[in-house]
Amino acid sequence: MIDFNKILPIARVVPGITRSFFMKRPCTVSFDVTSSCSLNCDYCYFKYTDPGRQLSEDEMLDRIRQVAGEFTAYHASFVGGEPTLRPRLLEEAVKLFPHTWILTNGVRGFPENIKASAWVVSLDGTEDIHDGFKGKGIHKRVLKNINKSQSMIFSNTTVSKKNHHCLEDLAEEMKDTNLSYMTFSFYTPVGSGDNGGSDDFALSDAEKISILGRISDLRKKYPSFIFFSPLMEYYYHPGKGYHRWNSTENCPVAIIGRHYGADGKLQLPCAMGPTADCSACGCGMNAIFLALIHGDINAMRILMDLI
């Protein structure tokens, strides 16, 4: 039986995103609700950006309300820092937009009173890899929080030189948890030298192509679990669709998205800030947006659950 309650949101959102993309106007928004974080991951772009003066919790909530009234946003993401450090803000902010995601490290859990459409938890790899990035015992703690939650949760793994070898083991481990889906992005170099990220994480085009083949195999093995459609893969592939969008002028996130930093100011071109290497962008949202804009039924099917 067709579930029209799930189909109708997609029927509204996808045409809206498509119109916004071709008319070059915003329809999705994200906020760094805090510049604080409970962890200190070396690969995280946020630690290499200048958050400015952090707004107080009440100031940030007022700013979110203001932005919500400025234009029609089909979707909002709440980022950081670690957004769950401000649970009261999140509880109110998610009410201001039709569809919402909260991006988290999962350490503080997924509070049931915060009614986001979905939570996106960062998973860096199997226990030894994940704890190597985030600290001893963090993997078990996050997994425990996932398994006791009743919320919709999917994971994102930022793939880099440091963790790509464990993707198959990670998928095998996570398929029997409370995670609804797994998806993947690539590490994006941010900044340079003493004030920027490390090239130790960056992947070559040849490495990305090889990894995409492995993710494709995972999708075939776990078709109802791996959120990485063939069209998403196409737009990640350096020899196929990747270079059609990975510039500031063509980037879907920069075109239809607006990002506001922890100081409440508009941050350009996106959440990663002006020092991100757009020519080596690995942002997962671009692949999702492009798949939707080009009528990807596989991506739409999964998004019915996530919005």
pLDDT for the residue numbered 262: 94
Domain range holding 83?
4-306
Predicted TM-score (pTM) above 0.75:
yes
CA distance linking residue 220 with residue 238, whole number of Å: 21
* CA 292 vs CA 19, 51, 105: distances in Å: 12, 31, 26
Indicate the number of domains in the chain.
1
Specify the DSSP element, H or E, that contains 120.
strand 118-122
- Count of CA atoms in the C-beta half-sphere (13 A) of 249: 2
- Residues 12-56 have pLDDT tens digits of 677 777 777 777 888 899 999 999 988 888 788 777 676 678 999
At 190-233, the pLDDT tens digits run 875 444 555 789 999 999 999 999 999 999 999 999 999 999 99
| Residue numbers of the chain with a pLDDT score lower than 50 | 1-2, 193-195
Residues in the chain: 307
CB of 76 closer than 8 Å to CB of 29: yes
Predicted confidence at residue 186, as pLDDT, reads 96
What lies within 8 Å, CB to CB, of 94 at 6+ separation is 76, 78, 100, 102, 114, 115, 116
Distance CA 228, CA 185 (A): 10
CATH number of the domain at 158, please: 3.20.20.70
pLDDT the model gives residue 292? 86
